[in-house]
Amino acid sequence: MSDAIAVIGSVAFDTLETPHGRADDELGGSALHFAVAASFFAPVHLVAPVGEDFPAAARTYLAGRGIDLAGLETRPGTTFRWHGRYHEDMNRRDTLHLDLGVFAGFVPTVAAAVRAARYVFLGNIDPALQRRVLEQFTAPVLVGLDTMNHWIAEARPALEAILPRIDLLVINDQEAAELSGEANVTRAARRILGLGARAVLVKRGEYGAILFSPDSVFAVPAFPLEQVFDPTGAGDTFAGGLLGYLAASGDRSERTLRRAIVYGSVLASFVVEDFGGRRMRGLARAEIERRYRQFVALTEF
Ligand code: AMP
């Protein structure tokens, strides 16, 4: 029986503009993308607020994936909304609009049944909230954390205070540079390890990802796709696949961690093939395994 994962973060309606088109009111959010990806491997508890406008069909979809929704708390007001627009270079995007909705003033209380989860992922929210959530878990064995430029600039002390409790920090290369003050990714990662995180996974968009720990470095390419349609959720999906695979294996050896990173890359390569999380809806485990094998062949020499 695999260990359960708890994820806390945003559940959102996204308006997405990419060079390939536009989609309105797509189901998204950092915690949702993570939860869907992780649910291919392990039981997931989703902890997030939603508004009264959150549709029953979305709950049915998530529950159908085996995701526990006891922590998906309906609050008076509207669900978090994000509107993003990607540049021609889709590694770059602008936030055009953000409406916190029920997220404003939200202080999560983790239900008793969820507190025992051994794998915890603190999605991209205020680091002070991330800490308050983490304190509620009784015995986590692996804690992952995502953050963004906004929190690095606005809440650095709170972010630095939580890093020594983080086993795996998942950030992109620009965030790593901002957090460390180092443009070079290797030096940036070393600095961040010095701040106390046990390992740092630096995501580099179409260039893949690099895992840094005190005594090893592991690099994976991104799966070569002819077209990246919409990168939204790629980072959270990567983290969800990674932690999902780790939780399912119950093993945290370097070898398993490396495989987990490849699964994270594989899941991320699917989510970017369509708007938001659409591609994940019909995705079969067999497709994941096929692309995993292609990935192994791609990097073997
Ligand atoms: P990613 O592309 O992996 O960075 O994740 C994109 C998701 O994060 C979208 O579905 C958004 O709804 C969500 N998101 C964007 N900005 C924020 C924010 N400030 N706080 C929480 N979630 C956000």
* Centroid of ligand 1 to alpha carbon of 236 (angstroms): 9
Question: Could you tell me if 219 and 262 are in contact, meaning their C-beta atoms sit under 8 angstroms apart?
Answer: no
What are the Cα distances from residue 111, in Å, to 11, 43, 54, 136?
18, 16, 21, 9
Structure-block tokens of residue 11: 């559940």
Question: What's the confidence (pLDDT) of residue 133?
Answer: 96
What are the Cα distances from residue 182, in Å, to 171, 185, 187, 220?
14, 7, 6, 22
* Centroid of ligand 1 to alpha carbon of 161 (angstroms): 23
Question: What's the confidence (pLDDT) of residue 252?
Answer: 85
Structure-block tokens of residue 136: 């509620």
Give tens-digit pLDDT for 211-221.
999 999 999 99
Structure-block tokens of residue 7: 């994820």
CA-nearest residue for atom 14, ligand 1, is: 29
- Dihedral over alpha carbons 242, 186, 231, 81 (to 10 degrees): 90
* Centroid of ligand 1 to alpha carbon of 210 (angstroms): 21
Structure-block tokens of residue 295: 């990935």
Q: CA 44, CA 6: separation in Å to the nearest integer?
A: 6
Question: What's the confidence (pLDDT) of residue 254?
Answer: 87
* Centroid of ligand 1 to alpha carbon of 127 (angstroms): 15
* Centroid of ligand 1 to alpha carbon of 126 (angstroms): 12
Question: What's the confidence (pLDDT) of residue 1?
Answer: 45
The string of DSSP codes covering 107-169 is -----HHHHT-SEEEE-SS-HHHHHHHHTT-S--SEEEEE--HHHHHH-HHHHHHHGGG-SEE
* Centroid of ligand 1 to alpha carbon of 301 (angstroms): 37
Q: CA 285, CA 123: separation in Å to the nearest integer?
A: 24
Question: What's the confidence (pLDDT) of residue 205?
Answer: 86
Give tens-digit pLDDT for 107-121.
889 999 899 999 999
| Ligand 1 lining (C-beta closer than 6 Å) | 10, 12, 14, 28-30, 33, 82, 98, 124-125, 232-236
Instruction: Give me the tens of pLDDT residue by residue for the chain, a chain 301 residues long.
Output: 459 999 999 999 999 999 999 999 999 999 999 999 999 999 999 999 999 999 999 999 999 999 999 999 999 999 999 999 999 999 889 999 999 999 988 888 999 989 999 999 999 999 999 999 999 999 999 999 999 999 999 999 999 999 999 999 999 999 999 999 999 999 999 999 999 999 999 999 889 999 999 999 999 999 999 989 999 999 999 999 999 999 999 998 889 999 999 999 999 999 999 999 999 999 999 999 999 999 999 999 8
Phi, psi of 175 (to 5 degrees): -65, -40
Pocket test for ligand 1, best of 36, 124, 159, 238 (most atoms within 8 A of CB): 124
* Centroid of ligand 1 to alpha carbon of 22 (angstroms): 17
CA of 26, closest atom in ligand 1:
10
Pocket test for ligand 1, best of 34, 82, 230 (most atoms within 8 A of CB): 82
CA of 234, closest atom in ligand 1:
3
* Partner residues linked to 217 by β-bridges: 212
* Centroid of ligand 1 to alpha carbon of 82 (angstroms): 7
CA-nearest residue for atom 13, ligand 1, is: 29
